[in-house]
């Protein structure tokens, strides 16, 4: 309910990329597992509102970059498992390149004295 | 291509609203359960664990709302809602609905009729090549005009 986010909030537009990468590395996962994996990799440097992952998953599915299938959770309930599609893999590669370029540019700028 | 695909997906979302909402409810339910289980493993009481799970998840209602906006076309969805609401209100009060429909019908019919007359009389030019040279016909000409070629007796 707390509207003003602490520092380390998810940079705008990067959640989709994180989700795609997670699915590429881990295979089929449900929303909770994706959120936990992202938090583990971030080692506490991200304040992820885990719920925001669901609109992101829907967005990615609408774009055809991930697919979903019903499965059963560890608590024996039905839940959707998400996998990355071939189009998603292509998109991930392109976004990774773009991200690396952006970071390199920014670093060069910041290191100028 | 992606734009088109998203548009199609959203159109589908417009049709299958209920199913998508149910799927999200299932996902959120499981998510909260698993989070709670995690916090219990870390030594919280089950009540504290539930509260902590809700905090980590963020606002359930905000997520549902963001999801709904993303799922289909919100503008069209709102419009359909308004239409359904209007239909419901009309059905609830048939007398009022009848009066409203009849007044609309009379209003539209009257203005259409008035305009038709005005259009025929004032606005449209006569269907001849040079309307300015037209003169009122003498009384005898009409008889002759009706039967051209007949000898004048």
Please give the Cα distance from B83 to A5 (Å, whole number).
39
**Residues in chain B closer than 8 A to A75 (CB atoms):** 30, 33-34, 37
Q: Work out the minimum CA distance from A32 to partner chain B, whole angstroms.
A: 5
Q: pLDDT over 70 for what percent of chain A?
A: 93
Please give the Cα distance from B22 to B71 (Å, whole number).
13
Q: What residue ranges of chain B have pLDDT lower than 70?
A: 140-153
Q: Which residues, numbered 93 to 112 in chain B, qualify as contacts with chain A under a Cβ-Cβ cut-off of 8 Å?
A: none
Average confidence (pLDDT) over A47-60: 91
Contacts of B86 (CB under 8 A, 6+ apart): none
Whether residue A80 and residue B23 make contact (CB cut-off 8 A), yes or no, is: yes
The tokens of A110 are what? Answer: 């910041």
ipTM score for this prediction: 0.79
Angle between helix axes B17-41 and A53-62 (nearest 10 degrees) is 140
B26-to-A4, A78, B69, B81, B111 alpha-carbon distances in Å: 28, 7, 18, 25, 56
Quick one: pLDDT band at residue A22, thresholds 50, 70, 90?
very high
* pLDDT of B146: 53
Domains of chain A: residue spans and CATH: 15-111 (1.10.10.10)
A-to-B residue pairs, Cβ atoms closer than 8 angstroms: 78
> In this complex, which of B10, B30, B57 lies closest to A79 when CB atoms are compared?
B30
* pLDDT of B139: 72
Q: For residue B29, which of A50, A79, A36, A35 has the smallest C-alpha distance?
A: A79
Residue ranges of the domains in chain B?
2-72
> In this complex, which of B6, B27, B37 lies closest to A80 when CB atoms are compared?
B27
B95-to-A42, A84, B85 alpha-carbon distances in Å: 65, 57, 17
Average confidence (pLDDT) over A4-17: 73
Q: Minimal Cα distance from A53: which residue of B?
A: B63
At B99-137, the pLDDT tens digits run 999 999 999 999 999 999 998 888 887 777 887 787 887
């Amino acid at each position: 309910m707390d509207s003003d986010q602490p520092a380390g909030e998810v940079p705008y537009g990067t959640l989709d990329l994180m989700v795609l990468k997670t699915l590429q590395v881990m295979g089929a996962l449900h929303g909770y597992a994706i959120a936990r994996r992202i938090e583990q990799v971030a080692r506490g440097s991200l304040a992820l509102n885990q719920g925001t992952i669901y609109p992101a998953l829907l967005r990615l599915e609408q774009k055809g970059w991930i697919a979903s299938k019903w499965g059963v959770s560890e608590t024996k309930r039905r839940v959707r498992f998400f996998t990355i599609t071939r189009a998603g893999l292509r998109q991930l590669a392109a976004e990774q390149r773009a991200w690396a370029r952006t970071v390199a540019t920014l670093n060069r700028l910041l290191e100028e004295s | 291509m992606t734009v088109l695909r998203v548009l199609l997906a959203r159109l589908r979302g417009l049709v299958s609203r209920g199913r998508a909402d149910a799927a999200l409810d299932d996902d959120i339910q499981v998510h909260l359960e698993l989070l709670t289980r995690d916090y219990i493993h870390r030594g919280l009481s089950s009540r504290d664990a539930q509260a902590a799970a809700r905090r980590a998840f963020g606002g359930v209602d905000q997520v549902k709302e963001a999801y709904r906006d993303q799922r289909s076309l919100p503008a069209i969805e709102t419009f359909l809602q308004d239409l359904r609401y209007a239909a419901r209100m009309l059905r609830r009060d048939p007398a009022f609905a009848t009066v409203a429909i009849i007044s609309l019908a009379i209003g539209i019919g009257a203005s259409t009729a008035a305009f038709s007359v005005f259009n025929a009389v004032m606005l449209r030019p006569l269907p001849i090549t040079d309307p300015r040279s037209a003169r009122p016909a003498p009384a005898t000409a009409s008889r002759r005009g009706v039967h051209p070629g007949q000898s004048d007796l």
